């Protein structure tokens, strides 16, 4: 099996596979680098007596603004306790409840949740999970690690009997040697994370360039609901901070959102105040900044006991101190930044795509769990839930023969080396365009202008890709322009405002909720349709 991506989704699947299964695990950089490692908040699970599976489902469905798949939401919520137990078995050290003499885990509350149900490891949950999983992965002799390798494209064949596409591997660039190899596999799993680097400001690491989604799109997969890009409401505003995320759990523990003059404002937008779902909070902050001309708003937890703040948020406290901000004494300047890709490669309950033997798990996939807006801390839960579903599904295909690849490497090495300045310029231009024209609040005029510009960039980048030696930067730039095109086309298709997609030309919400699905394998290159 070939697993492309080494975050919580990819690592947990590698660990769940039988020890007699040969696994190749591809990582763009080092194993720890990726969105999982930087996740602060936690993982949502029903562990409290006052909570219930039904309430978790209801909260998720409400946050998803009518586009969640209820059967998926119920299945994931029911598994939440078992998933936390499995992580404990892998050695993840979650924060315990000190007020209890028992061994119970501490639960905090985040936006959209009715009750405290966020299991966490202080404010570095992703790091704790990733470190534990990586440690276990390295102990397994059946898992071969390929760090500093970048997948370029998927390799597919067409079955004679069914005329159905089948994935048989991937072209992969070895960044250390700059050589391209063919990785063959009976099953291929995309676990490459999201596409938030398509925007100028993001809480995500540089690896989040939408590689898996772009590769799957080019291969012929259905891509669903990519207009729903989640902006985290609170990222540190500082010219040297690189959009450091300030966890939602800080608001869950009493943090206040204020204008720079000290006035609260969230009560004007939602009765839940600072703990409203992320789309509402992000739009509220964006609105106040535009109305008053502010560059940022304030997130204040300095009214809480100093020792409580330092113990609850050690990572945030330490990071802010690097920029001379003592959060026990002063408020944190914050702005929204892209944080999570709610759409992605369309999958079913077994994580299967519409291409045979190709699966997608984690943020790269659209499972129906998040709908039009992800509820906080459901993402890590989703990663591990669908890794189990892949395992269950491939067991049904044990007798199937592996199809070998009978083609030469299609990427010629006899090309000139592209100038890095061109790549860097295009990268910045695209991300700035997306931020200014396809941001938190949209209009048809801005979207149409963005579509024209992206179309021009795409031709230039494809030409550059075909004529030059392939590098990691060029691969990511190519994927980035495909992602931009998909987001814009999806946003233009949705004639309403729902969840994370807010269009001033269509401020109302349609009575009937529907998905936006895009597929490249049709006439005129792109197909758009609304699916029930």
Q: Which residues are catalytic?
A: 278
Can you tell me the distance from the alpha carbon of 34 to that of 27, in angstroms, rounded to the nearest whole number? 9
Torsion of CA 70, 75, 76, 79, to 10 degrees: 150
Please provide the DSSP assignment of 250-281 as one string.
HHHTT-EEE-TTS-B-GGGT-TTGGGS-HHHH
530/513 Cα distance (integer angstroms): 9
Q: At 352, phi and psi to the nearest 5?
A: -85, 140
H-helix or E-strand containing 517? Answer: strand 515-519
Tell me the DSSP string of 3-21. EE--SHHHHHHHHHS-TTS
Who's near 527: CB < 8 A, 6+ residues apart? 517, 518, 519, 520
In angstroms, the CA 13 to CA 398 distance is 17
DSSP letters for 288-325: HHHHHT-S-EEEE-TTS-HHHHHHH-HHHHHHHHTTT-
Nearest to 110 by CA among 99, 120, 98: 120
């Amino acid at each position: 099996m070939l697993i492309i991506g080494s975050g919580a989704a990819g690592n947990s699947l590698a660990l769940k596979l039988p020890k007699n299964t040969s696994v190749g695990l591809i990582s763009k950089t080092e194993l720890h680098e990726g969105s999982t490692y930087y996740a602060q908040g936690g993982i949502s699970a029903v562990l409290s007596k006052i909570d219930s599976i039904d309430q978790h489902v209801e909260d998720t469905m409400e946050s998803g603004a009518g586009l969640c798949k209820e059967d998926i939401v119920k299945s994931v919520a029911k598994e939440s306790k078992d998933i936390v137990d499995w992580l404990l078995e892998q050695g993840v050290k979650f924060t315990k409840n000190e007020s209890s003499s028992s061994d119970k885990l501490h639960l905090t509350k985040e936006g959209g949740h009715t009750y405290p149900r966020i299991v966490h490891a202080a404010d570095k949950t992703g790091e704790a999970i990733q470190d534990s999983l990586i440690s276990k992965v390295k102990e397994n002799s059946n898992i071969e690690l390929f760090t500093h390798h970048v997948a370029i494209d998927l390799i597919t064949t067409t079955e004679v009997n069914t005329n159905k596409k089948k994935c048989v591997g991937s072209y992969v660039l070895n960044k250390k040697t700059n050589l391209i190899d063919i990785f063959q596999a009976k099953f291929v799993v995309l676990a490459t994370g999201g596409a938030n680097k398509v925007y100028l400001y993001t809480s995500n690491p540089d690896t989040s360039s939408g590689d898996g989604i772009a590769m799957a799109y080019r291969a012929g997969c259905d891509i669903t609901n990519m207009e729903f890009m989640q902006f985290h409401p609170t990222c540190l505003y500082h010219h040297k901070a690189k959009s450091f995320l300030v966890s939602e759990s800080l608001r869950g523990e009493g943090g206040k959102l204020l204008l720079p003059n000290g006035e609260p404002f969230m009560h004007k937008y939602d009765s839940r105040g600072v703990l409203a779902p992320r789309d509402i909070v992000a739009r509220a902050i964006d609105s106040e900044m535009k109305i008053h001309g502010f560059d940022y708003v304030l997130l204040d937890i300095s009214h809480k006991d100093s020792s409580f703040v330092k113990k609850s948020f050690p990572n945030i406290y330490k990071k802010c101190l690097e920029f001379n901000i003592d959060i026990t004494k002063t408020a944190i300047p914050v702005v929204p930044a892209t944080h999570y890709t709610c759409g992605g490669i369309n999958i079913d309950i077994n994580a299967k795509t519409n291409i045979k033997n190709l699966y997608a798990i984690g943020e790269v996939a659209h499972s129906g769990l998040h709908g039009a807006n992800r509820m906080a801390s459901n993402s890590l839960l989703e990663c591990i839930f669908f890794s189990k579903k892949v395992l269950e599904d491939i067991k049904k295909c044990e007798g199937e023969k592996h199809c070998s690849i009978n083609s030469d490497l299609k990427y010629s090495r006899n090309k000139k080396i592209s100038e890095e300045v061109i790549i860097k310029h295009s990268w910045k231009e695209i991300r700035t365009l997306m931020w200014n024209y396809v941001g938190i609040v949209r209009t048809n005029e801005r979207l149409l202008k963005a579509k024209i510009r992206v179309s021009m960039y795409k031709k230039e980048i494809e030409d550059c890709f075909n004529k030059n030696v392939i590098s990691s930067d060029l691969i990511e730039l190519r994927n980035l322009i495909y992602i931009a095109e998909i987001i814009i086309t999806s946003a233009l298709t949705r004639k309403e405002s729902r969840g994370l997609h807010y269009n001033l030309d269509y401020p109302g919400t349609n009575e009937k909720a529907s998905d936006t699905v895009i597929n490249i394998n049709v006439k005129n290159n792109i197909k758009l349709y609304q699916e029930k």
